[in-house]
Every structure is written in C-alpha cells, then in structure tokens.
C-alpha cells in the first residue's frame, strides 16, 4: 500500500491554503472554545466534514453528509478526498472555488442512480428507459429509483459518489466522459490522468479549459450564441449552470438539444443531455459511456479528417465554385414536433392581422425588412414608385417584416398601402413568423410578390416557394453577398438563393459582378440564366447639378483639402480605414456623417484623429455640403452599387472609392480613382495624392463619372427593365424546376 495511504492530514493538507479567519467564522463552536483553528481542523474538523476555506462552500454539505455516514475513527472525508487529487495539484485545487462549484453543478442524480441500477443488475442490458416503457417488475423498480432521485438532495448524491461511486468507476455527471477526457488531456496537456479522471480534470483540466465531454465545443458555443459575447470566463461554466437546461442552446455540432424529450428540469438537475442519454435503448455501459456520446466521438473523429492538408486544399478549390461548401458554421437544427406549440398564439395573431388589412386583395406585394435610412429601403421606394407608374390599375401593398420602422415615407407614393408584420410577430419564433407571413400573402392573392432584402421574406421563399410559385410570380432583389469574419462569402446570394431559385420568376441584381457570378454559378440552363436580371438603381438628382469642377476650384483657391465620408459605422464600410487615412494625411480634413447600425466595428469614437470631424447623420444626399469638400471618400470591404455612390456619381462628385463588387461599375480609372486594395490605407493615400496632383484631370474624370452614372442609372432604363422582369403584360406562370438534382 502506498505510504500516502498511512499519512495523516498534516502530511497531505497544505497549511497555506487553510483560511484561519474563515474557519473560525464558519465554526462558532471552535471560536467559542478558544481552540487554534488549524489544530482543530487537523484533529477533528477534517473528520467532521468541515471545510478549510470559502472556496470549498459548494461541496461542504456533501462532505458533512459523507462524515455522518462513516463510523468513529473511519470518518476521514477530507483526507479521502485529498487522496483522489494528484499530489502536485492539491494546493491549487483546494483554493479553486470555480472547480468546486462546477463539480457541484455537474452532479446529475438520475444519471448516477441509473448507473447504480445497472451495476446492481436491476436494469438488464437491453432494457429501455424505465420512464419510457414501464412494464416489468425490474423496470418498475428502476422507475421508482429514478423518481426518487429527482427529489433527493444533490449533496447526498455527491456524498454517495465520493464515499463509494468514485471507487466503483461511476461518474456523477452526464457532462463528464472519462475516456474522452483522458484522450483530450493527452492531446492538449501532454499527459493523462494517473488517478481518477474526474479529479485530474478538476485539478488540471478545468484550469486549462479542457472540455470533459465530446458534447461541448467552446468555440462553437460562443459562435452560435450571440449573447455569449457578454459572458466572461470559460463558456463551459455557463453551459453547466444554464445552457444544458435550455432547449435553444446548441453546445456543439454533434448535439442538438432541441431533440431532447422535454423532461429536463434545472431544479431537479435533469439537463437535456441526461434526458437524451437515458432515452437510449442500451444503458449497460452508462458508467463509461453512452450511445449518444459514442456517436458524438465518432463524429468528432470523422470531422478531424477535414484538418488533413490535402482535404483543406480540396475545400479551397471547391469554395471557388461553391461558397456554401464552408457552410453552415452552426449545427443543422432539426426539431421534432410537437415539442413546443405556438399554433394557438399564431392563429390569434393571424386573425388580428387579417382584420387590420386595409384591403382583401391586391395585385402586388412588396416585402421589405423596414423603411429606414438604408440603401435597400431607398431601392424599395424606387421600385414601388416605378411599379405604381407601370401597373396603373393594380394595387400594391408594402409589408415590413423585421423592424417596425417607416422613417422615409417620402420615398414611396403617397397612396401606398402599408402593413407592419414586424410588430405583430416580434415575439413569435421564426417558424411561426414565416407562417404568419404566408397566411397574409396567400390571403391577399397577389399576382406577384417582390422580396427586397427581407430576411423573413427569404425564409418564406425557401420554405414555401414551390407552393406559392404555382399561384403567383415570386421575385427577389439581391444587392451583394456578405463577408463573414472568416472572409468567406455568405448572405442571401449564397445561401437563400440556392434553396428557392427554381421557384423564382426573376432575380433583380444591382451590379454586374454579382450578376455575372450568379449567372455563372447557377445558370445551368438558358432559362435559369435569364432569371437573373441586371438592373441599376435609378439615380435621384436635379439636371443642373454638376460638382465636377469643385476640386479644381478649391485647389486653385488654396482651401484646406477636405473629403467627406458618409455611411454606416459597421464592419462592411471599414471606417477604420478612414481613421488610418486621416492619421497618414494629417493635413486632410475629413467630414463624416454616419452612425452604427449593424455593429462589428471596434472604432473608439472618443479617440479619433483631430482631422476627422463628426457631423451626425443626414436625410438625403443634397443635405451634404458637397461644394465645401474636394472629394468623396468611400471605403468598403464588399458592396453592390451603393445608393450614396450613385447619388455622388450622378452629381459629378470627384470620388476615391474601394473597387469592390459593383462599385467598379461606376468608378473606374476613367471616371474616378478606384482603390483595388480596399483594406490598405496607403492605397487610398496614393489615390488621393494622384488626384490632388492633377485637378484638371480629376475634373475630367468627374465629368465622365456624371455622364456615365446618369446613363447607367436612369429612371427610364430602370422602368423598362422592371417591366420585362415583372412580366406586366402577361399572366403569371411559375418557373419550372430545372436545377439538377
């Protein structure tokens, strides 16, 4: 027997982690007796389950319960606990309140009691879950024990584990897998446990943030749940305390908690994963593993093949053809009905919405997310005005689906019909919201539906597009793909369009690069290729406005060099590049209009360079003092043809712009100063210096830009293209399925 088995508490317990003041405060009887706290603890306290510091509070009741069960001199709970912990890590673990708290939170009575049933032979191999199929005497016994386990103290179960279960190879938690942790420790820490894996994890793995279960992935959990950005520390602690009881949490790509049976309960420590494990048909090896965990480990091992360099190269090549090859980042969420039913609430809201409709039938439905200061809302207004002129006898209804905002009524005809679904549906889950939208659209029986950037509208198309296209024309507007934080393409042109392309009559695209890319990728036949139609957003301007000579005039007068920038302070628009340009060109004054909308920018607006002058927001382009600025500076990492650029171009404003996406449809070497390296501030500086060096050349280019924009983005061209795309002279017919399977 190892010598340590004979050692006393003084030899095994590091005195430096013992909190004398705490011990006296926590044990008034010791203080009243005037006994030295350390002497009392090493002589009596450790045998009575008394704790050494505030860090151990979570396990104090279990230690006391442990002590109460042992007779006489055999009462050594703290001493026996120390023997479970690697000697070199005892001091750090004894002081780690987080580890003890997590141990206590991870105790799941039903999992532990089930292991005892299997070990005692009360549940034969192959028997189903006792709750799911009670019938035989053995099954009834198991159900009775599990039912009792729901109401018993977690501290008693932890005490049972510490006294007995730990030595019999049982595990107290559905979130600790001994084999998985052993492999993870070898892989991530360089060495595995030489004693009980759970206590090695508490002492070594927990501080190193090694997941003790194949069912949890830290990076995936944070990436999938936006609210985790506000959670500090290790996300596994959040999952143990909260997430494992919440049906909407997806802890990894291999566990979908929405598939749980719904019997989970936080007060009774029945997390969703425990419920799913106990629902498995074979539980004879539950102390070691479960079918759920085995499937998870298999999936993890198979997924590891993707890290092979050859496979990575193949994925990169495939991505050039199919951006969805890297999607989805999150798990596929499959739900089994009926877990939760929103049918009653949905029916009531649908009835209320139908009663609020100003008409019973319309010819055109335009679905938009909102009407606020945004390019898509501006385009929606131009589209509805054009449709109003083209379809003079038809009635058009605008539906707002995502936000209850209608800030720019001046963009729409005065007699436009507006219905706000966003306010009615805001508390409904997505499935119920899209059914609400479906109810409205089907009930109005329009000839055609146009979706202009509505997220809910795209869900409607991808879910019910095939059915709707049989009775009405479905159209969509695409502006640009998005780039995520990994630099990969996403958004509606990549994800949504694939799922509903065969149901669409037309897809309006506002830039040539996007049109060419989509036609190349999805134009499997001439008919499908013809679905994509390039239509530039019409410019709004007065004929006499011409700012092409402003830079040359200001340079001749020797005025301060000044640029203006206007847009969203979001990641896409790369205002950080503007800050860098201002730093590199301290003599350049930059007037800035904008605000945050989507987020994703880390700019500290309290610490901007002094030559950046914030001006607030603006309502329309002609509110900007363009004549007081030499040029328009436009920065974006990706884009279509932004409406503000169209406005500036149609007025002949000298422009320095990132040559991304559809921006290059307007700003070329002949019409302005395109910056091909959109994220390099030095490239913008070089373009600005070239422009300032030759004001006459800048004026020539600006004049060509004005002429080009007014031709490319004319109202007449827009109206003709829309008339063809919307098939205003014929009856609607659905596009047949032509995409290959």
Q: How many degrees, rounded to 5, is the angle at CA 38 between CA 32 and CA 40?
A: 55
Interatomic CA distance for residues 577 and 579, integer angstroms: 5
The whole-angstrom separation of Cα 145 and Cα 159 is: 17
Share of the chain above pLDDT 70, in %: 85
Does position 425 have pLDDT exceeding 80, yes or no?
no
- Please tell me the distance from the alpha carbon of residue 201 to that of residue 189, in angstroms, as a whole number: 11
Position 131 scores a pLDDT of 44
Exposed / middle / buried, residue 329 (Cβ in 10 Å: 0-12, 13-18, 19+): middle
Q: Work out the average pLDDT over 633-637.
A: 93
What pLDDT is attached to residue 129?
A: 46
User: Would you state the pLDDT for residue 489?
Assistant: 82
**Which stretches does DSSP call E strand in 426-580?**
448-452, 473-478, 482-483, 489-490, 506-509, 532-534, 562-568
- The yes-or-no verdict on residue 624 having pLDDT over 80 is yes
pLDDT-derived band at 151 (thresholds 50, 70, 90) equals low
CA 509-515-520 angle, 5° bins: 145
Length of the chain (residues): 741
Under the banding of pLDDT at 50, 70 and 90, the label for residue 703 is: very high
Which is higher by pLDDT, 7 or 60? 60
Band of residue 297 on the pLDDT scale cut at 50, 70, 90: confident
Q: What's the confidence (pLDDT) of residue 271?
A: 86
- Please report, for the chain, the start and end positions of each structural domain, with discontinuous segments joined by +: 14-81, 103-292, 343-534, 550-713
Least confident window among 323-332, 392-401, 403-412? 323-332
- The per-residue pLDDT for 264 is 54
Q: Per-residue pLDDT tens for 20-49?
A: 999 999 999 999 999 999 999 999 999 899
Most confident of 327-341, 410-424, 616-630: 616-630
Cis (ω within 30 of 0) for the bond into 562?
Answer: no
Fold matches, 343-534 and 550-713: yes
pLDDT band, very low/low/confident/very high, at 260 (cuts 50, 70, 90) = low
Asked whether the predicted pLDDT for residue 325 surpasses 80, the reply is no
Q: Is the model's pLDDT at 470 over the cut of 70?
A: yes
Please give the Cα distance from 330 to 731 (Å, whole number). Answer: 41
Q: What is the pLDDT of residue 373?
A: 63
Summarize the confidence of residues 211-238 as an average pLDDT: 91
Check residue 80 and give its pLDDT.
87
Neighbours of 576 (CB within 10 A): 16
- Considering the domain 343-534, what is its CATH architecture? 3-Layer(aba) Sandwich (3.40)
Q: How many CA atoms lie within 13 A of 115 on its CB side?
A: 24
Decide if pLDDT at 524 tops 80. no
Which tens digit of pLDDT belongs to each residue from 665-684? 999 999 999 999 999 999 99
pLDDT at 124 over 70: no
Lowest mean pLDDT among 158-167, 390-399, 419-428: 419-428
Structure tokens at 615: 């001006």
Cis peptide before 656 (omega within 30 of 0): no
First to last CA, the chain: 68
Tell me which residue of 177, 102, 111 sits closest to 150, measured CA to CA: 111
- pLDDT at residue 371, rounded to an integer: 76
Tell whether domain 550-713 is in CATH 3.40.190.80.
no
Res. 731 pLDDT band, cuts 50 70 90? very low
Mean pLDDT of 503-523: 89
Q: Which long-range contacts (CB under 8 A, 24 or more apart) does 376-381 make?
A: 376/452, 376/453, 376/477, 376/479, 377/408, 377/411, 378/408, 378/411, 378/537, 378/643, 379/452, 379/477, 379/479, 379/510, 379/537, 379/643, 380/411, 380/412, 380/452, 380/453, 381/408, 381/411, 381/412
As a whole number of angstroms, the distance between CA 325 and CA 331 comes to: 14
Mean pLDDT across the chain: 83
């Amino acid at each position: 027997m190892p010598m340590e088995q004979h050692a006393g508490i003084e030899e095994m317990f590091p005195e430096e982690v013992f909190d004398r003041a705490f011990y006296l405060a926590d044990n008034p009887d010791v203080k009243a007796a005037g006994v030295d706290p350390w002497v009392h603890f090493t002589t009596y306290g450790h045998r009575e389950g008394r704790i050494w510091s505030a860090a151990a509070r979570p396990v104090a009741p279990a230690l006391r319960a442990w002590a109460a069960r042992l007779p006489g001199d055999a009462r050594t709970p703290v001493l026996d606990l120390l023997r479970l912990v690697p000697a070199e890590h005892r001091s750090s673990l004894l002081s780690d309140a987080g580890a003890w708290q997590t141990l206590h939170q991870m105790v799941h009575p039903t999992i532990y009691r089930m292991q005892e049933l299997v070990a005692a032979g009360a549940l034969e191999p192959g028997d189903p879950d006792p709750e799911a199929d009670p019938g035989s005497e053995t099954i009834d016994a198991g159900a009775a024990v599990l039912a009792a386990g729901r109401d018993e103290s977690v501290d008693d179960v932890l005490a049972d584990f510490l006294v007995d279960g730990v030595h019999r190879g049982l595990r107290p938690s559905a979130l600790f897998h001994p084999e998985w942790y052993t492999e993870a420790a070898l892989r991530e820490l360089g060495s595995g446990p030489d004693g009980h894996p759970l206590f090695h994890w508490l002492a070594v793995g927990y501080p190193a943030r090694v997941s003790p279960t194949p069912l949890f992935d830290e990076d995936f959990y944070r990436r999938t749940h936006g609210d985790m950005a506000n959670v500090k520390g290790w996300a596994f602690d959040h999952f143990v305390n909260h997430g494992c009881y919440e049906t909407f949490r997806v802890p990894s790509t291999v566990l979908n908690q929405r598939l749980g049976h719904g019997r989970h309960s936080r007060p009774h420590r029945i997390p969703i994963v425990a419920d799913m494990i106990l629902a498995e048909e074979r539980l004879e090896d539950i102390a070691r593993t479960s079918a759920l965990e085995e499937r998870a480990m298999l999936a993890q091992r198979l997924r590891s093949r993707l890290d092979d360099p050859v496979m990575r190269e193949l994925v990169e090549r495939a991505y050039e053809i199919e951006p969805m090859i890297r999607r989805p980042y999150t798990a596929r969420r499959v739900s089994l009905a009926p877990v939760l039913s929103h049918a009653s609430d949905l029916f009531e809201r649908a009835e209320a919405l139908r009663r609020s409709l100003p008409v019973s039938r319309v010819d055109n439905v335009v679905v938009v997310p909102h009407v606020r200061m945004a390019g898509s809302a501006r385009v929606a207004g131009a589209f509805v005005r054009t449709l109003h002129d083209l379809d003079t006898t038809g009635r058009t209804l605008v539906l707002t689906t995502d936000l209850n905002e209608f800030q720019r009524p001046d963009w729409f005809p005065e007699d436009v019909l507006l219905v706000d679904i966003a306010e009615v549906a805001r508390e409904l889950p997505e499935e119920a919201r899209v059914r609400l939208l479906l109810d409205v659209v089907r009930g109005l029986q329009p000839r055609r539906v146009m979706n202009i950037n509505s997220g809910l509208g795209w869900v409607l198309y991808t879910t019910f597009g095939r059915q709707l296209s049989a009775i009405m024309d479905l159209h969509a507007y695409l502006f640009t793909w998005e780039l995520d934080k990994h630099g990969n393409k996403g958004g509606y042109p990549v994800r949504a369009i694939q799922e509903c392309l065969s149901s669409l009559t037309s897809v309006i695209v506002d830039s040539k690069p996007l049109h060419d890319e989509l036609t190349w990728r999805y134009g499997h036949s001439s008919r499908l290729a013809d679905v994509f139609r390039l239509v530039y957003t019409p410019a709004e301007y007065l004929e006499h406005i011409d700012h092409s000579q402003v830079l040359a005039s200001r340079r001749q007068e020797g005025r301060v060099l000044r640029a203006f920038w206007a847009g969203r302070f979001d990641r896409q628009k790369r205002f950080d590049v503007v800050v860098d340009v201002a730093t590199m060109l301290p003599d350049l004054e930059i007037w800035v209009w904008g605000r945050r909308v989507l987020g994703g920018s880390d700019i500290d607006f309290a610490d901007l360079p002094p030559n950046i002058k914030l001006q607030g927001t603006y309502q329309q382009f002609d509110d900007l003092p363009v004549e007081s600025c030499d040029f328009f500076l436009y920065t974006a990492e990706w884009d279509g043809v932004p409406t503000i650029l169209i406005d500036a171009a149609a007025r002949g404003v000298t422009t320095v712009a990132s040559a991304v996406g559809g921006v290059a449809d307007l700003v070329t070497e002949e019409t302005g100063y395109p910056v091909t390296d959109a994220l390099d501030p030095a490239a913008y500086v070089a373009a600005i210096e070239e422009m300032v060096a030759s004001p006459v050349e800048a004026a020539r280019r600006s004049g060509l830009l004005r002429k080009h924009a007014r031709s490319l983005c004319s109202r007449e061209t827009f109206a003709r293209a829309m008339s063809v795309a919307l098939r205003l002279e014929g009856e609607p017919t659905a596009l047949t399925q032509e995409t290959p399977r």
